[in-house]
Amino acid sequence: MKMAWWIFMSLLTIQIILIQYMVEEFLAGHTEDLFYYLLALGFMFVLTFITYLFFRKVDKVMDH
């Protein structure tokens, strides 16, 4: 499960960085780029959820 921990931490780090960029772009008045950051953030959330489901299944298989 150590591998899952590091993958989750890296995905969360990417999400935090994307949110930071979105806030900076918004405060700078560059709202035309926010849509692309929002798409990237949504993709990262979906990828994190799929990874969570994968490692949950792997954990169940390893227990049997």
- Write out pLDDT tens, residues 22-45: 999 999 998 888 899 899 989 988
CB-CB contact of 3 with 51 (8 Å): no
| Per-residue DSSP letter, 64 | -
pLDDT at 1: 62
For 32-36, 49-53, 59-63, which range has the lowest pLDDT when averaged over its residues? 59-63
CA-based Rg of the chain, rounded to a whole angstrom? Answer: 15
pLDDT at 24: 93
With pLDDT > 70 as the criterion, what percentage of the chain qualifies?
A: 97
